Chains A and B, each alone.
Chain A
């Protein structure tokens, strides 16, 4: 009998809550939930050592579906919430999740500064290049010429390039995964969590309802086509010649994460309130 069959190690289902997802059948976000659960099990994290924080959107429902600490925050504010949590509780493994609208539009500025601060977080963005929850408006990553009833002529605006921006803004780990490959994505999440500092994972997560053509991503993604490097210039060259379909780790750096100096330790609530007295 194998070790796996005998040992009482955690299994992915241990990290899923009893709340059943209400995502559309065919939605890519199921693959992310599975990959996260697999990564958590592989790392052997206890639920009380782990927190999943999100913003607003279809993908941001994920904290409800995981069996650990969770915080379903406000639109675009998942990163500041996650940052605050990590600084207050550095012992926790903090995973911040959300979609492309939440992360790059409403929360775009937080994304830049979270990369720059390099707090030890893992940020997973489920990118379907559309606002799904509000019925299909173009998002920052929507292709310029994509047309729909809500954007009949397309946006006419260049799309946001999250991995290039993460790299330029100082993220210490940058990667791209695909929901159709939950095991490969789990590998990336494990690496992201194990790499100190701010880790950013762009996940291609098809929206079957508003972007049914994204079902073809299964055929167009290229597994393991990004070559991991610690050389920023090489990573930059690679990402600027990338068509968005290459998967893998792009950059894994060694920049030390930001940790605030240990302050006064535990402070009584009354003392904190006194600082704000007018």
Chain B
């Protein structure tokens, strides 16, 4: 079976490769979003996405160190049940006026999806007990991240319903 055809890991090594790819893609995407927000002069959210990129990069590096690998596998070589890796932010969910509260909402959604992914692997009866144990351990870690992000988000006020109102909209046609 090639990497392209694999839906679920067959060994602990493969599982860790998948986990590493997931974190690597999430880090890369957050870094792209930080650049994007910087280009649109939303420096507060740019800084926050930059922080999230560094955090996900640390998670990737922890796996690399634990496994003794030099680089993360290409996330594109894995099949996910989500359009991209479960911890990767969808570009479509962005807005140039979004606030840190929104950005952390996206991050929480990503962490939750990652936890669900690992919980699903942990629940697979056809996988080895060792692999399921590693998956369960990782799922618990991701649930911890969900709570951390929720606490982080609570430090910002929830924006009102008119948060995306722009008094000088770039899209004005009249």
Contact = CB atoms under 8 A, between A and B. Distances in A.
Contact of A20 (B39, B80, B90, B171): B39
Nearest to B38: A20
Interface stretch (B68-76, B113-121, B135-143, B145-153): B68-76
Interface string A180-201: 1111101000000000000000
B20 A5 contact: yes
Contacts of A273: none
Given A26-B91, A206-B92, A183 B76 contact: yes
Given A30-B91, A180-B83, A42 B76 contact: yes
Interface string B2-35: 0110000000011001001100000010001101
Interface of A is mostly: loop
A12 interface: yes
Interface string A11-34: 111000000111011111011001
Interface stretch (A110-118, A207-215, A226-234, A259-267): A207-215
A253 B27 CA distance: 40
A5 B94 contact: no
B95 interface: yes
Contacts of B94: 25-26
Given A2-B13, A3-B3, A135-B173, A41 B74 contact: yes
A237 interface: no
Interface string B73-90: 110110110011000001
A30 B174 CA distance: 28
Q: How large is the interface on A (under 10, 10 to 19, 20 to 34, 35 or more residues)?
A: 35 or more
A182 B173 contact: no
B149 to A, nearest CB: 20
B171 A135 contact: yes
Contacts of B33: 25
Contacts of A135: 171-173
Interface of B: 3-4, 13-14, 17, 20-21, 28, 32-33, 35-37, 39-40, 67, 69-74, 76-77, 79-80, 83-84, 90-96, 98, 170-174
Given A4-B73, A31-B91, 10 more contacts: A2-B3, A2-B73, A4-B17, A25-B40, A25-B98, A26-B93, A42-B76, A148-B173, A186-B76, A208-B95
